[in-house]
Structure 1
Amino acid sequence: MTYNIPENLKGLTETEVEISGKRYGYNTLGEIKKETWISLLIGILKEPMLILLISISFIYILIGDYGEALFMFAAILAITAISFYQDNRSKNALKALEKLNEPLSKVIRNSKIVEIPTSEIVVGDLCITEEGNLINADGKILYSNDFSVNESSLTGESYSIFKNNNSEDNEIYSGTVTVSGLAVYRADRIGKETRVGKIGQSITNITEEESPLQIQIRRFVKGMAVIGVFIFLCVCVFSFINTGNFLNSLLNGLTLAMSVLPEEIPVAFTTFMALGAWKLMRSGIIIKRSSIVETLGSVTIICTDKTGTITQNTMHLKHLYDYKSDTVYGEEEFKSGKLNRLIEYAMWSSEPVPFDPMEITLHQIYEHTQITDQRRNYTLIHEYPLEGKPPMMTHIFENEQKERIIAAKGAPEAVINVSTLTKEEKYKILSEVKKFGEQGYRVLGVAMASFQGNDFPEKQQDFKFDFLGLTVFYDPPKKKIKNVLEHIYDAGIKVKVITGDNADTTKAVALQAGIKNSTAVINGSDVSSVSEERLMQLAKETTLFTRMFPEAKLKVITALKKQGEIVAMLGDGVNDGPALKAAHIGVAMGNKGTEIAKAAAALVITNDDLEKLVVGITAGRRIYANIKKAVQYIISIHIPIILTVSLPLFLGWVFPAIFTPVHVIFLELIMGPTCSIVYENEPMEKNTMKKPPRQLTETFLNWKELTISIIQGLVITAGILWIYQYSVALGNDEIKTRAFVFSTLIFANVLLSFVNRSFYYSIFESFKNRNILLAGISFLVLTLLFIILYVNPVSGFFSVSSLTAKELGLSLLTASVSVLWFEFYKLTKRNMSKIK
């Protein structure tokens, strides 16, 4: 982008920036509290699992079992280290996202225009704002070009105000929005000193709303904690009545409480969300809140703007229709001289410093076709900004000889309606517009007017315009858009187009892009005039919405949400802002999107490639599925631990304390990384994008899924308790029986982590999805098991004996039968399903 900015505006030097920063600070609304390692450590030590471990350690010290106490302290260090690693991993991912999400601002420094993070603006900086930008500091306008600003965030007034350096009010304020043109302003007040800062609208005070999944998981964990406390009390009382030993009874109770508490689940959720968002960021998808990753997988409807999202937004001028000669001209005839007046007025009706692709094209065509460039000889003296339904805009220029140019352009219907044409002439031109629209062309009407004096009409529609002709642009659909839309439809997601363009053009482009449509087109005025009930029906049934303005877009999004749809809205313009904000997921284009669109959106696609949205939806579904797998694994493996600890005690079996805290904590150290590291790394199953989207209100684990996990856990428990009784029946002592039971549970845990990679495909099919972390952790766990069984000092500490090859084989066989039965369930499920 080239800016015609006066050379005397040089900006601050690097030394002046440093001095200003030290004296006045930087452009932030308050110091963000940084977490120290001490606060992190205190947070980790508050976790229930750590509190239980510390309590058990002190009991071991009290009863004089210093070896066990030392192991518990080692376990505390290990869990703390793992928690530090997980916390830092998640926090670093979120910091990277935060840094990428920080808006950039254009400033002039050392006579050069540079982009810097908005937080680095200092007092005295010369800032540049242009159409669609949020203004990021309070200051005075030094230079402007057709500049207007919307100050509704401060004043409540929704209309735009034109300002320049000579205006009585030449101040602009942080938090307001540039509606048109460009301005250079000096930053006089930044951060907390700005008007918006003093009002106290600080982003640091906004708390992130919890997602339904977060709430459901929190409830589940709290429920398990309540159950754990109840069982803990029962075990303590029961054991004390039987033995009369308070410390041992307390130890038994704490062991069981430790086996019940599913502390891995919240850790897994945080890890999955943060790393999911970070991985998407590396793919070119910036997500502002990590919880959005979950919502992405639930999207049921994608509402998209046409220009710049479905199309390339190149706006190539293909034809010009000259009304006077009633002729359509192709590109090769633009220089013929016959079209000079039409081209000239199309350019004058555009912004002097163009931002819109169509206006940039018109300026370029003017440069290439006109013998004399008159742009430097004329000054813009009055403007009517783009407005109306459908919209149009008018510019009034004047030179030193007081010669005037009044040029208008806009939607053909709008320009025709204010032109001095007969009904027959209007009908004829509209028929030309329709022909172009049916070919997918974007059409604008161009007109001119004359006016004496400076008492300009209040509305541009009050001028008497002479219609000049039509500019016909072609904005082709993006490459691979058909393939992208095919993936979206395969995933059971509906697509709706919400655009300001006319019906014919929209239908043609939709057809070229591969959008499925079998219903009539609805325009913005219809959306505004119907009842809420009728709008709900229209929003549900209609695919193409045309001639839409911001309020109409917002109404459609709201109507879809009320019907329980999970809506993603794609847009890049200022007019898309309200709809982007209202949608469950607002998606802005990173390259061609305006700053206001990016600020309103929850997700930004950095390279404007719609295929990235499919990547995001796929990631959302993968992450949601993997969280479910992790939680179901945790439930299934906790049940045998809980029952193996409690049933021998309650049923009065010969070895009531078959597991001690040492064994339980070892199992916990295995399960934590398995669910939060291994399952987070699990690739997507091949049928993920062939399933319909889930409802956002759907319970995280429905009763069927919960029942399956409970049955898995109970079958594993049955196998472990069978091996317990088998060992006792052979006359084995407690140490040998414990080795049998412990080995069977470890084997079952490893097999379960492989089986639960998919609740649909076989374990052999899942091997095709490489997950090196699963293989690595499984190998490590089995290595540790063999060390515990066969290295004497270690086996003595764990109170187990070695097993013969036959005994080890029996333990593995029992675990295999207890876990692999589930493969027959999955086979039955596949045979009954249409998805392969």
Structure 2
Amino acid sequence: MQVPSLDHGLSKEEAAKRLKANGPNSIESHPTPKWLIFLRQFNNLIIYILIIAAILTTVIGDVTDTSVIVLVIIINAIIGYYQESNASDSLEKIKKMLAPEATVYRDGERLDIPSANLVVGDIVFLEAGDNVPADLRLVDIDNLTIQEAVLTGEANSVIKTTATLPADTPLADQSNIAFASTAVAGGSGIGIVVATGHHTEFGKISQAVSDVRKGRSPMMREIDGIGKGISYAIIAAAILLFIFGLVIGKYSLPVLALAIVTMVVGSMPEGLPATTSVILAMGVSNMAKKQHVIVKTLPAAETLGSVDVICTDKTGTLTKNEMTITTIVTPQATYDVSGTGYAPTGDFSMAGKLIDPAEHADLSALLTAGFEANDTELHQEDGRYVINGEPTDGSFLTAYYKAFKQEPANTERDLMPFDSNNRYMAKLAKCVDGQTRLFVKGSPDKILPLVATAHPDFDQDRYLKLTSQFSVQGQRVIAVAEKVVPNATTEITPELLSEGLDFLGITVIIDPPRESVITAIKQMRRAGVKVKMITGDHPETAIAIAKKLGLADSPEAVTGAQLAGLSDEKRRQLILNADVFARTTPKDKLTIVSVLQEAGNVTAMVGDGVNDAPALKKADVGVAMGQSGTDVAKDAGGYGTDR
């Protein structure tokens, strides 16, 4: 591929030539016609026999039986049609997530064009708020961060770089690529289009969803087997009786034929499909009313009771996907913070005793600094607290509101957004006490050296060790500092920061498990159901979360890259034995579910993101999370929760 000049971009003629050769940058689906989906519902041995039975009852003039049989056939076809046509909507939901327009350079001009007209080699400009229109190799960035939860499932935005990476770098670690349909959270950048349409990572997900063919549920296979067995037995008996009647010669041919037809019709299990549907419908209704679970396909209600293995996503499924501060360490004390999620309900304690944060100056100062060095918003939406911004920043807002009801009455003078090089953000504010302060929070390895600059006797090693200890446990650590500056200061400069900071403390942040998850996992393990966690997170973090949830006695983690490098047999054994799968791609999730099914396991998949959709559709039971789940995941799964 010839790389064009960044200032000039492709010529319009070259772009048109590539568009004609490679096709548009879009995800094309070829949906099965609705009429064909409806006709496919009649492609079943029991239905064939019921149709024959309906014809025979019509011949003998039994209108009542004919009506009942025809009604059963139509009801069964309608139920099957609804289930199958509903499942195909996930592709349409994926198409709606594509960016409609892109900003490109062509013939030296900066233009806004339909994303469908993008071609490989185009130079694309990105800025905050954009949806990435295609897979881009980044070549120039300015503090570019991208929210990739749609692909990886992880909540925090990814800091992008232009560095060259090894070819086998896992998807979640490809920091030099901007992936199609991910969202630019901050900064700006320029990238070269390296993949469009179905060749993008997002396009591969849509193709996987399209290609997956879901098998029949265990109960439906049993019913098919029973129906076939009964039907073959009835046909065999009818043939033998007809031959026997001819041999003994006691009945005339019309009378014998009528007797055989009557016997066949009376023996047909025409009530089996209807009875099964009614029983399953009652179960579906009970689950909706009592368990707040929406079941999209009737057989799924029974299949859930046959599950041997549950594969589950981590972020937003096992955990809340709501970052929460649980511990605060200041030079004076260590504080514990109760309450999880973004709802500002919880208490502060020290050495097991509840305290009032307002009575502890060190704690109050840290909470205020964390609130100020922030550009995220926390608000209520449909009775739930949600954020607009970064999850880590949201945790500081929630912690502040747990302690204080009113915002600080400080006046902002300047704000330094989070910088991928500095890895901290800062705010300059005129405070109510008349002093001007610089509030800073960020990565400990960046903040602590700045504190040591102003305080040579500062015990930097102690807090670095604490950071390492908390990180190994799957927790995130943020350092907080401040500095009193001259009242005439109106701008944050590198020189201002390089003079040093006053240390306030470190905060420990987790993505808390859902309240019911630990108990549920314990019950499933007691029932003999294996639970396997599949996540895009780092192996160390995944193991720490697995231990906290009680996923296994000694959970072992396998990465997607490790699975890719194995032979089929070794991969199969590893998938069957491992408890935790880290740094996985959507393809890895699909492979894991497929291998478990091939080994004879009835497998469930629980997830909430687009990256879970192929596995949700492939699994015997796909469960999509309600409030946090994407529309694509809900359409791919057979179950949905309204919580």
Short-chain TM bin: 0.5 to 0.7
Which one-letter code corresponds to 2:606 in the other structure? L
Confirm or deny: 8 A CA contact 1:147 1:162 kept in the other structure: no
Gap change, CA 1:397 and 1:176, over 3 Å in 2: farther
Distance 1:219 1:78, change over 3 A: closer
1:318 equivalenced with 2:326 (yes/no) = yes
2:641 aligned with 1:605, yes or no? yes
> 2:214·2:617 contact (CA, 8 Å) conserved in 1?
no
Q: Which residue of 1 aligns with 2:317?
A: 309
Compared CA separation, residues 581 and 214, structure 1 to 2 (3 A):
closer
1:361-376 matches, within 5 Å, as 361-363=395-397, 368=407, 371-373=410-412
Q: Which residue in the other structure is 1:146 paired with? A: 128
CA distance in structure 1 between the aligned counterparts of 2:273 and 2:137, rounded to whole angstroms: 47
Structure with greater contact order relative to length (CA < 8 Å, sep ≥ 6): 2
Which amino acid in the other structure matches residue 244 of structure 2?
A: F
Q: For the Cα contact (< 8 Å) 2:412–2:427, is it kept in 1?
A: no
In 2, are the aligned partners of 1:437 and 1:508 still within 8 Å (CA)? no
Separation in 2, partners of 1:229, 1:348: 71
Structure 2: distance between partners of 1:291 and 1:432: 51
TM-score w.r.t. the length of structure 1 is: 0.43
Alignment counterpart, residue 307 of structure 2, candidates 284, 288, 299: 299
CA offsets, 1:391-423, max 9 Å, x none? xx9689999xxxxx9x9968x89999xxx99xx
Report the counterpart of residue 265 of structure 2 in structure 1: 258
Quick one: distance in 1 between partners of 2:470 and 2:426? 31
Q: CA deviation at 1:591?
A: 1.1
Query: Aligned equivalents of 2:635 and 2:97: distance in 1?
Result: 12
Quick one: distance in 2 between partners of 1:370 and 1:567?
A: 55
Q: Specify the code of the residue in structure 2 equivalent to 1:567.
A: T
**Secondary structure at the counterpart of residue 297 of structure 1:** helix
Q: Report the structure, 1 or 2, having the larger strand content.
A: 2
Q: Does 1:245 align with 2:252?
A: yes
Letter in 2 for 1:442: Q
1:259 to 1:354, Cα distance in 2 relative to 1, 3 A: same
Matched, 1:359 2:398: no
Pair 1:492 & 2:534 matched: no
Q: Would you say 1:589 and 2:571 are equivalent positions?
A: no
Change in 2 beyond 3 A, CA 1:236/1:509 = closer
1:589: Cα distance to partner?
1.7
Whether the 8 Å contact between 1:379 and 1:397 is mirrored in structure 2 is yes
> Could you list the per-position Cα deviations for residues 131-178 of structure 1 after superposition, in whole angstroms to 9, with x for gaps in the alignment?
x99527845799x97235455xxx6x4879999xxxxxxxxxxx9633
What is the rounded CA distance, in whole Å, between the counterparts of 2:252 and 2:322 in structure 1?
82
SS at the partner of 1:233?
A: helix
Q: How does 1:53-92 map to 2 (within 5 A)?
A: 55=56, 58=59, 69=61, 72-80=62-70, 90=79
SS in 2 for 1:177: coil
Q: Deviations over 1:652-708 (max 9, x none)?
A: xxxxxxxxxxxxxxxxxxxxxxxxxxxxxxxxxxxxxxxxxxxxxxxxxxxxxxxxx
Q: Secondary structure at the match of 1:304?
A: strand
Structure 2 portions without partners, runs of 5+: 1-28, 104-111, 113-125, 142-178, 187-199, 201-205, 337-347, 349-356, 379-385, 402-406, 429-437, 454-458, 482-500
5+ residue gaps in structure 1?
1-27, 60-68, 104-117, 120-131, 164-174, 183-195, 385-392, 400-404, 449-465, 608-836
Letter in 1 for 2:272: I
**Aligned-pair distance for 1:493?**
0.6
Residues 1:372 and 1:556: Cα distance change in structure 2 (over 3 Å)? farther
Contact map agreement 1:149 1:162 (CA 8 A) in 2: no
Asked whether the 8 Å contact 2:292–2:642 carries over to 1, the reply is: yes
Partner of 1:517: 552
Tell me the SS of whatever aligns to 2:528.
Answer: coil
CA distance in 2, matches of 1:279, 1:362: 41
Instruction: Give CA deviations for 1:111-143 in whole Å, capped at 9, x if unaligned.
Output: xxxxxxx99xxxxxxxxxxxx99527845799x
Which amino acid in the other structure matches residue 530 of structure 2? K
Provide the C-alpha distance between the structure 1 equivalents of 2:207 and 2:572, rounded to a whole number of angstroms: 35
Structure 2 counterpart SS, 1:358: helix
Q: What CA distance in whole angstroms lies between the structure 1 residues aligned with 2:363 and 2:267?
A: 81
Q: Is 1:135 matched with 2:97?
A: yes
Q: Give yes or no for contact 2:480–2:506 (8 Å, CA) kept in 1.
A: no
3-state secondary structure, aligned to 1:243: coil
Q: Is the 8 A contact 1:550 1:579 kept in 2?
A: no
Which of these residues, 174, 181, 196, is aligned with residue 177 of structure 1?
181
**1:262 aligned counterpart, secondary structure:** coil
Matches within 5 A, 1:537-556: 537-543=573-579, 545=580, 548-550=583-585
Counterpart in the other structure of 2:159: none
CA pair 518-535 structure 1, distance change in 2 beyond 3 A: farther
Within 5 Å, give how 1:764-783 maps onto structure 2: none
Computed over aligned residues only, the root mean square deviation of the Cα atoms, in angstroms, reads 6.4
C-alpha separation in 2, matches of 1:82 and 1:73? 14
Say if 1:347 and 1:362, in contact at 8 Å, map to a contact too: no
Deviations 1:240-266 (A, max 9, x none): 341362101212222333344333334
Match in the other structure for 2:22? none
CA 1:581–1:260: 2 relative to 1, 3 Å? closer
**Distance in 1 of aligned mates of 2:560 and 2:623:** 25
Aligned in 2, Cα 1:395/1:162: closer, same or farther, shift over 3 Å? Answer: farther
Contact 1:570 1:587 in 2 (8 A): yes
Aligned partner (choices 477, 490, 515) of residue 444 of structure 1: 477
Alignment partners' CA distance in 2, 1:278 and 1:525: 39
TM-score (norm 2): 0.53
The CA distance in 1 between the partners of 2:277 and 2:372, in whole Å, is 59
1:227–1:82 distance in 2 versus 1, CA, 3 Å: closer
